[in-house]
Each structure stands twice: as C-alpha cells, then as structure tokens.
Amino acid sequence: MFTIASGELAADYAANFEGLWENPVVALSGRISSPWTQLADGTRVRPYFCPGRSLKLVHAMSRSIASAQKRIRVCSPVITSGPILGTLAEALEQAKVDIGGVYDATQMDEVQHQWGGQAGAAWKIAAFHSITSAVHFGAKRSTPYAKGSTHDFMHAKILVADDYVYTGSFNLSHSGESNAENVIQIESAQVADLCAAYIDRVAAKYGAPLKVA
C-alpha cells in the first residue's frame, strides 16, 4: 500500500469515485485520462481507471514489459489479460531480462479449466505454462472458494518492469478490464526495488527460489 501526497492525484480519484456514485453503471465509468504528476521528491505517478481506460492500462503494462532491460516481476492472483500474457511470453523467449513472480495456483487452475473449453484460448494455456515452467514463479495453493470457506487467496497485485511499478486493484486479468478497478503507475527506481524485493520474498514463500542480488 502506498500513501501519495498529491492534490492532483486525489482529484482524479475523487472524480472517478463521484462518477460511479452519481451513475453506478460500471461499464460507463473510468473515463478519466490522467497525465503524469511529478511529486515533490521527483517521483512521477499516473493513475489509470477501468473499464474506461483499461485498454490504455494493459497496453502501457505491455509496453513496459516489452521494453524492460533488466527485470520483470509479476505478483497477481491470476494472469489472464491477453496483451500482458503474450508480451510476458515474448520477453521470456528473448531471454534478455530477469523474470519472476508469484500467482495463486488454485485460481489459475480454475482459469485454465475454463480456457480448456474455449477454442481460441489454447494459446493462453501454452503461454502461461511456458512462463511459469521456465522462470522463477511461486504458486500459492489457496483454499478453493466456497460459501463459508477460508479466504486465503494470494491477492497482492503488483507489476514491476525495470523502474516502473503498477499497483492497485487490477488483477492482470481479462475480466478486470471490464471491472471498476484502479491502478497507479509509479516511475521510481527506489520504489521498484522495494516492490521487486517484496515480490521475490512472497514468491520464495510459495515455491520460487529467493533471488540473490
């Protein structure tokens, strides 16, 4: 969780929430285009709101992944957004960047079962397997969802690509592109280092080897 001191950023979030309050139709929300804001310490931040700006968000994430030169870290319950999944698979094939992360194995098992019944989703299964079998990914085996069950999903949502961080309520999921979600993009080497270290610790806890600097 981040605390960001910015009146401009707060105004964007307030406008998005007020829009939903006044007209609670999710499909019509999130149509706020926000520029970069520079904070007092020089850090740059930019919010994205879904579903209105979901395509801009996933393509910004994909561009950051594709242009990364040193590291990519993924921490998400699921990884199902086509542009993100495809770009991760391409980055892996190029083998130029240190890639790792963690996801929720139970939820991704359910997703792959759904994909199995969709004729156009076979490539997603292959891409997901190529990523998680070739690089250091932890897999949290959580309790399947049921009424009254323990809710212990791995629910953190962070993407790090070099010195860019994306974090918020967006799941890196195709369905998330249609939900009322929000993400903050942060350009900061220091913040990216902290987030990458956090993701590595979580990944190590759930099966991936801890990175050594």
Residue 161: inside a domain:
yes
pLDDT (average), residues 171-180 = 90
Contacts of 137 (CB under 8 A, 6+ apart): 74, 100, 101, 102, 103, 131, 203, 207, 208
Amino acid type, 170: F
Per-residue pLDDT tens for 100-125? 999 999 999 999 999 988 888 889 99
Q: What is the CATH number of the domain that holds 187?
A: 3.30.870.10
Q: How far apart are CA 156 and CA 84, in angstroms?
A: 17
Domain hosting 188: range is: 7-205
Q: How far apart are CA 157 and CA 103, in angstroms?
A: 9
Q: The pTM is what?
A: 0.94
Residue 1: inside a domain:
no
Share of the chain above pLDDT 70, in %: 97
Instruction: Please list the residues that pair with 165 across neighbouring strands.
Output: 160, 186
pLDDT band at 46 (very low <50, low <70, confident <90, very high): very high
Encoding tokens for residue 10?
A: 């707060």
pLDDT band at 210 (very low <50, low <70, confident <90, very high): low
Angle among Cα 1, 127, 130 to the nearest 5 degrees reads 95
Structurally, how many domains does the chain consist of? 1
Angle among Cα 14, 18, 24 to the nearest 5 degrees reads 140
Residue 210: inside a domain:
no
Residue 196: inside a domain:
yes
Q: How far is CA 149 from CA 76, 92, 119, 143, 183, in A?
A: 21, 36, 32, 8, 29
